């Protein structure tokens, strides 16, 4: 298993890349601030690496459960107008979204 | 019952309402008046709808007058943390990204409290998406601790703690992911209980870290906490992690506990949480109050021993990997499409750009930090070292609990290493802020129930005592907490909250 370097540094460029992956248009000031703060946080959380976990199974959930089944019975959904009332933009009884392809607007 | 309605316990209000000695309108109005008078200073609420509250109260009074069969909580006012979705009532989770959103449905616990006839006073302030320990991460406002308005009320359920401690609600619902019910309860002199994971429905709670989030009561007494817990607990088919087994009898456990007989109860004091060699960061006043509480338990017949849980030392780093990882995934739903804010949609930008601008504008700094950290911990190349390793540490923590239960019935510790700190003093230092959760994280990661009950004052500020029990044995938390509460109240001559004297808030 790979071990994080004890000084798990996060560079400004890495934070910018992670922000992009997270769809966050962070400002330059934030990049500067977060890179420093996250480096400190990473140093702290990297201590999990100290644990001897050979042969220890991961816990994903506090209560062991398998998939829960219920009868496949149709139930009423929320009315369309009620749901669309909460949307930032709606058109023709649908959510209106900005273009999703890269063509010129 | 106290002459001042806003200082009464919810149990007393319930009794008076059922006896017809008090109307719901009367008590609701008393709370609304106090909110109008003092919430400008305290800042507990994000939303109060006086008219709607009075209407609900009138409906209960009318039903009671007609002789309809009503439950014991009918007419008792309450407050909900703003992470709980409420049909038609603004719900923000403390974030600008949900400003003005009126949910189209009720969370299961909100629906249960509505069906029980409780009166919703309002929605309480919180750290944005429940990420924080001081409520200073709210996108809307600062909430102040009624004991000292220059100090934080804890977090993330700090609006709920300030409301109940300050007499702005008889009781409130909080949610706890890593300590967000217990720590704010501790620093405001309240009782706060995090139920066994899976025993209270998460349906309609805006998700932060789904494998950890639980809702629970924040109240002035242990009995009140048990009553509120019973009202919201139980299986819910709308939550796939909901446990389908009976809820233990809680209020009865609290009543029996208050009789003060703990003979035969085996109590383990967790060494790693403020014990020998583990006192760094703990205030001496906190440790002294906790030691006194342990002595009281012993005096009531409990057998006390030290228990070492070595993996608890790694609970903080494990939590601050697991919770941000789950949050980075959960918060992907805020995409500016279906609800909430949309920014930069001027026709020139595509969906990705609009999404990034929306999230940049809608989320505050702590939320962004955690999303970025979680994205990092889950990314290929780092997953095994961070998220995977943290999940294995989680297993070690659960094993420590399991082996402790061979020897003891409950584990105890301070709830938080310090009393309430000054507003602003930790905002620029995430690590210092995270340290407030040191003692509450193990129970969160293992999914076991844990209660915080007041155990006196240090420097004039409340200290919390934490009692942890095995999964589904929430009743033990209530029994022991009630015993401690009763013994302390008897020694003190009054409840801890009744001794509150603050600059802004003279004792009533």
Q: Which domains does chain A have, with CATH numbers?
A: 12-50 (1.10.20)
Residue A50 sits at the chain B interface (C-beta within 8 Å): yes
- Cβ contact (<8 Å) for A4 and B103? no
Whether the per-residue pLDDT at A104 is higher than 60: the answer is no
CB pairs under 8 A between A and B: 199
CB-CB: which of A45, A51, A95 is closest to B338? A95
Q: Which two tokens stand for residue B178?
A: 């890593």
Name the nearest CA neighbour of B454 among B425, B399, B501, B494.
Answer: B494
Quickly list H helices, B46-142: 50-65, 108-115
Q: Which domains does chain B have, with CATH numbers?
A: 5-310+402-499 (3.90.1300.10)
Closest residue in B to A2 (Cα) is: B385
Kindly report, residue by residue over B153-181, the tens digit of the pLDDT: 999 999 999 999 999 999 999 999 999 99
Across A38-52, A54-68, B86-100, B417-431, least confident range:
A54-68
Whether the per-residue pLDDT at A8 is higher than 70: the answer is no
Average pLDDT, chain A: 87
pTM: 0.96
B205 or A104, greater pLDDT: B205
What's the pLDDT score for residue A65? 75
Q: Which two tokens stand for residue A67?
A: 């998939």
What's the pLDDT score for residue B1? 58
CB-CB: which of B103, B338, B350 is closest to A100? B350
Asked about B180 being catalytic, the answer comes back as yes
Asked about B210 being catalytic, the answer comes back as no
Instruction: Place A100 in a pLDDT band, splitting at 50, 70 and 90.
Output: confident
Closest-CA distance, B499 to chain A, in angstroms, reads: 39
Does an H or E element contain B354, and which?
A: helix B351-362
Q: What is the DSSP string of B119-175?
A: EEEEEE--SGGG--SSSTT-SS----BTTBTTB---SSSHHHHHHHHTTS-SEEEEE
Asked about B134 being catalytic, the answer comes back as no
Name the 3-class secondary structure at B81: strand
Mutate to test the interface with B, among A3, A46, A51, A67 (most CBs of B within 10 A): A51
Q: Is the bond leading into B420 cis (omega within 30 degrees of zero)?
A: no
Percentage of the residues of chain B whose pLDDT score is greater than 90: 95
* Sign of the CA dihedral running B100, B102, B108, B114: positive
A69 contacts in B (CB within 8 Å)? none
* Average pLDDT value for residue range A51-80: 88
Closest-CA distance, B208 to chain A, in angstroms, reads: 15
CA distance B229 to B77: 15
ipTM of the complex: 0.90
Contact yes or no for A63/B197 (Cβ under 8 A): yes
Q: Enumerate residue ranges in chain B where pLDDT < 70.
A: 1-3, 502-508
CA distance B300 to B259: 10
- Cβ contact (<8 Å) for B369 and A41? yes
Cβ burial B429-461 (10 Å sphere, 16+ → b, else e) = ebeebbbbbbbbbbbbbbbbbbbbbbbbbbeeb
What's the pLDDT score for residue B507? 43
Kindly report, residue by residue over B340-387, the tens digit of the pLDDT: 999 999 999 999 999 999 999 999 999 999 999 999 999 988 999 999
- Cβ contact (<8 Å) for B240 and A45? no
Mutate to test the interface with B, among A15, A41, A76, A84 (most CBs of B within 10 A): A41
Name the nearest CA neighbour of B184 among B161, B215, B212.
Answer: B161
Residue B277 sits at the chain A interface (C-beta within 8 Å): no
Which CA distances in Å does B486 have to B9, B163, B256, B483?
14, 23, 11, 5
Instruction: Place A18 in a pLDDT band, splitting at 50, 70 and 90.
Output: very high
* Average pLDDT value for residue range A55-77: 86
């Amino acid at each position: 298993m790979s071990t994080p370097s004890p000084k798990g540094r996060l560079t400004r460029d890495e934070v910018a890349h992670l922000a992009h992956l997270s769809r966050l248009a962070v400002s330059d000031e934030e990049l500067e601030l977060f890179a420093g703060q996250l480096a400190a946080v990473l140093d702290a959380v990297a201590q999990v690496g100290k644990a001897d976990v050979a042969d220890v199974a991961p816990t994903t959930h506090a209560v062991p459960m398998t998939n829960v089944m219920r009868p496949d019975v149709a139930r009423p959904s929320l009315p369309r107008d009620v749901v669309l009332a909460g949307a930032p933009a709606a058109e023709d009884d649908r959510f209106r979204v900005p273009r999703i392809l890269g063509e010129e607007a | 019952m106290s002459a001042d309605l806003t200082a009464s316990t919810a149990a007393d209000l319930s009794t008076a309402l059922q006896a017809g000695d008090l109307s719901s309108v009367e008590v609701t109005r008393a709370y609304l008046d106090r909110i109008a008078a003092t919430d400008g200073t305290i800042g507990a609420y994000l939303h109060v709808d006086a008219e709607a509250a009075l209407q609900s109260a009138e409906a209960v009074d009318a039903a009671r007058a007609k002789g309809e069969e009503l439950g014991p909580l009918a007419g008792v006012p309450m407050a909900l943390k703003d992470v709980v979705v409420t049909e038609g009532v603004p719900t923000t989770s403390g974030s600008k990204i949900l400003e003005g959103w009126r949910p189209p449905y009720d969370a299961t616990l909100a629906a249960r409290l509505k069906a029980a006839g409780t009166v919703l006073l309002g929605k309480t302030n919180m750290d944005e998406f429940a990420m924080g320990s001081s409520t200073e991460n709210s996108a809307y406002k600062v909430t102040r601790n009624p004991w000292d308005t220059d100090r934080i009320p804890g977090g993330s359920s700090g609006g709920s703690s300030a409301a109940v401690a300050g007499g702005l609600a008889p009781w409130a619902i909080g949610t706890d992911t890593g300590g967000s019910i217990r720590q704010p309860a501790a620093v405001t002199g309240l009782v706060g209980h995090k139920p066994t994971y899976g025993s209270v429905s998460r349906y309609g709670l805006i998700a932060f870290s789904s494998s950890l989030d639980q809702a629970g009561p924040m109240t002035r007494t242990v009995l009140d906490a048990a009553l509120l817990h019973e009202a919201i607990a139980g299986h819910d088919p709308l939550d796939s992690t909901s446990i389908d087994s009976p809820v233990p009898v809680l209020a009865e456990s609290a009543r029996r506990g208050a009789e003060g007989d703990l003979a035969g109860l085996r109590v383990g004091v967790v060494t790693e949480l403020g014990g020998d060699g583990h006192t760094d960061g703990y205030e001496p006043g906190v440790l002294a109050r906790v030691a006194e509480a342990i002595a009281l338990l012993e005096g009531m017949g409990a057998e006390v021993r030290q228990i070492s849980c070595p993996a608890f030392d790694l609970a903080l780093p494990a939590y601050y990997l697991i919770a941000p990882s789950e949050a980075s995934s959960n918060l992907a739903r805020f995409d500016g499409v279906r609800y909430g804010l949309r920014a930069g949609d001027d026709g020139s930008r595509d969906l990705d750009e609009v999404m990034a601008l929306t999230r940049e504008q809608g989320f505050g700094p702590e939320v962004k930090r955690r999303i970025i950290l979680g994205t990092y911990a889950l990314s290929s190349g780092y997953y095994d070292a961070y998220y995977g390793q943290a999940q294995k540490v989680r297993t070690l923590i659960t094993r420590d609990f399991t082996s402790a239960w061979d020897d003891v019935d409950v584990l105890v510790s301070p709830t938080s290493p310090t009393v309430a700190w000054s507003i602003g003093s930790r905002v620029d230092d995430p690590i210092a802020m995270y340290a407030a959760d040191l003692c509450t994280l193990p129970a969160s990661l293992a999914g076991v129930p844990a209660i915080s009950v007041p155990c006196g004052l240090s420097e004039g500020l409340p200290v919390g005592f934490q009692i942890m029990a095995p999964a589904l044995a929430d009743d033990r938390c209530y029994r022991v907490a009630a015993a401690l509460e009763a013994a302390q109240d008897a020694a003190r001559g009054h409840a801890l909250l009744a001794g509150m004297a603050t600059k802004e808030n003279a004792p009533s």
